[in-house]
A and B are shown apart, each in its own frame.
Chain A
Amino acid sequence: MSATETVPVAEGIDTLDALEAEAIHIIREVVAEFERPVLLFSGGKDSVLVLHLAAKAFWPAKVPFPVLHVDTGHNFPEVIEFRDRTVERLGLRLEVASVQDYLDDGRLSERADGTRNPLQTQPLLDGIAAGRHDAVFGGARRDEDKARAKERILSLRDEFGQWDPRNQRPELWDLYNGRHTVGQHVRAFPISNWTELDVWRYIEREGIELPPLYYAHEREVYLRDGMWRAISDVSPARADETVERRIVRYRTVGDMSCTGAVESDAASVGDVVREIALSTLTERGATRADDRISEAAMEDRKKDGYF
């Protein structure tokens, strides 16, 4: 960094305070202006963070909306356990949109590569329609992906759940325009402006509990496409892949069939903060096979209604 004399920036609120204030403001705006909001909740750190912020926004009242999980059927068991325990603790209603149900009755069919991430879109849209939800909170962040970098904080979706990136409403000051008509809904991203490191520093500061697989643990894994993949029923190793035990952790928690682990001995939140600060790879680049398909993989999924 530049070698200059240190001029202290004026005392005041720090980055995490500013991001928290912005996120709580957004969550309250959506609850005030929409009839039936819902939070997409996977048990992953970003959705856990949004839920934590929502709890702060309305305390001492409880969070005034349910949570919706799009269940691919390929979940890490520890994450499902965490999801259920969290929902129970906060006294929230859990809605589940099950990809497995769609596969069982033939509305969807399994992809050749076995990954179920792209299959989530239809159950998600049906789940939103079934709950008559007019606003859907998500934990997406702009630093995750180039297409997400162009996403609005409040983002309108048409009757088909589609995102039209060329026709987005300008977003001005901190005035959010939530106008929509019947059939449309709005996706709301309160932590748009947080980076992965901000999320972890805030988790550390607030003492937020996460599923254990975010921290270093020993696991049976094999190397595929440069990522450590967990051995499971839905993600078996091929004959030419060597299974070994490694100390790993997950930077993102998604569908088991396409989420990879990283080698890490970061066993505590403090360790993770230090590790992320030094990391030379983005979290999606390091751990998501589905985003490696093309430069525009995320944009194409988002246009079709993905979160």
Chain B
Amino acid sequence: MGALLRFATAGSVDDGKSTLVGRLLHDSKAILADQLESVTRTSAERGFGGEPGAIDFALLTDGLRAEREQGITIDVAYRYFSTGRRSFILADCPGHVQYTRNMVTGATTADAVVVLVDARNGVLEQTRRHLAVVALLRVPHVIIAVNKIDLLDYSQSAYDTVASDVAALARELGLADTHVIPVSALAGDNIVDRSANTPWFDGPSLLELLETLPSLDELETEFEALRMPVQLVIRPQGSLAHDVADAEAFRDYRAFAGRIASGTVRVGDRVQVFPGGATTTVTGIDAGSTTVEAASAPRSVSLRLADQLDAARGAVIVAEGALPTPRRELDASVFWLGATPLRPGARVLVKSGTSTVQALVTDIVGRRDLDTLALEPAGALEINDIGQVRVRLAAELPVEEYSTHRRAGAFLVIDPQSGYTLAAGIVTEAPPASPEAVAEAEAAAAWVAV
């Protein structure tokens, strides 16, 4: 069985996303008889569809009373299914209510995002926006499902139009791995099996593609240096687990517990510890009561080190030579999710890895126009805005740019009073200077040249 794949689905209201999700779950036999019976009964009660036994697939994912009563999907719903080849976690992100919030939530944990496009409408403004979020959050794989292709008599030219628009957008947005599949969620074309109705399309069905895409950890582990934020230090002292046979041998046991964010660690590896940068050697790797020779992201392990280092929660263990530059100032993109707008001077908490520090938003550089992706001046960021900010931290954090290291560049912005999660943040390079600043710099350079 292959690695778990987490994927999110997104689309505009009438793109048929619920039908697609329902079709995937139904055709992969993830919907069990009692669920189907309950949904069929409720569909009939609500007068869904004309035919007896017609199913409103949305009822499978609309789990809350308010959602069913109002016929809307409020919140991301998680669904689980597996095929003979792989298990899937599907984050079904509703498209209309607070879609940015839901898209961001779904996309942060996704290995792939499936964006639905109605073949009759092509790439819409909202498609652009969904893809912009996906691009900024660097989801590894993007699949555009060109739905309702049956309503256009399986027209190749309709598909070609969307495919070429998507290709242009992908270049513009910098999307890495983009696939475009013509589907009919209602009729089942190219969802599980390749359809005979689209002989001009030689790609895989949606499910085949999902079964074979490498997950984020499969993509990254080999190429990246070890990084493990320390969650806590395990020191049993007298308080040993019942199955520790030799209490004396564990009298001085001390290990750094964490989840490997990237790379691989082996016994004997030289590592460095932030803060301070001290270098030491890994003497043991424990995974529960099992001692292992090596472990890779995203495993949770405990590392024993040769030297007694004064490291605690918030420390980060990295491969020798891969010590991050500690940062007190961050340039960052934030996806603003709070009801209250963000204004310059806001005092917030920043949670990155296993550290939470006080922070001051010193500057709102701009708000991103999701149609052009350009930054435009903004005095504040409203809910669902994506903006560029500068943040000053009360303590140094070992972050990296998100574009080079997802787990080291992602952070939460938290309201210190209410505790609410205000924003998803990603560390970026400094934004290009404004035209005025560039003009000033050029003028200064010209003056020097004279």
Contact = CB atoms under 8 A, between A and B. Distances in A.
Partners in one complex: yes
Interface of A: 1-4, 6-10, 12-15, 17-22, 24-25, 28-29, 31-32, 55-64, 89-91, 142-143, 145-150, 156, 165-166, 168-175, 177, 179-181, 192-193, 195, 197-198, 279-282, 285-286, 295-296, 299-300
Contacts of B243: 59
Given A25-B300, A60-B244, A9 B2 contact: yes
Contact of A28 (B63, B211, B231): B231
B98 to A, nearest CB: 9
Contacts of A55: 241, 288
Interface string B219-243: 0010000000001101110011111
Nearest to A201: B1
Interface residues of B, number: 95
Contacts of A3: 193
A221 to B, nearest CB: 20
A76 B228 CA distance: 44
B109 to A, nearest CB: 6
A172 to B, nearest CB: 4
Contact of A14 (B1, B34, B76, B353): B1
Interface in B69-100: 74-80, 82-87, 89
Nearest to A193: B89
Interface of B: 1-4, 28, 32-35, 38, 42, 60-66, 68, 74-80, 82-87, 89, 101, 104-105, 108-109, 192-194, 204-205, 207-208, 211-212, 214-215, 217-218, 221, 231-232, 234-236, 239-244, 250, 253, 257-259, 286-289, 296, 298-300, 302, 313, 337, 349, 351-354, 406-407, 410-412, 414, 416, 419-421, 424
Nearest to B257: A28
A111 to B, nearest CB: 22
Given A59-B286, A170-B101, A171-B105, A281 B407 contact: no
Contacts of B300: 20-22, 24-25, 28, 57
B414 A177 contact: yes
Q: 7 closest pairs, A vs B, by CB? A: A9-B2, A179-B419, A146-B63, A285-B34, A56-B288, A61-B236, A24-B300
Nearest to A198: B87
B27 to A, nearest CB: 9
Contact of B411 (A29, A61, A171, A175): A175
A149 B250 CA distance: 41
Contacts of A57: 257, 288, 300
* Best-surrounded residue of B4, B236, B416 (most CB of chain A within 10 A): B4
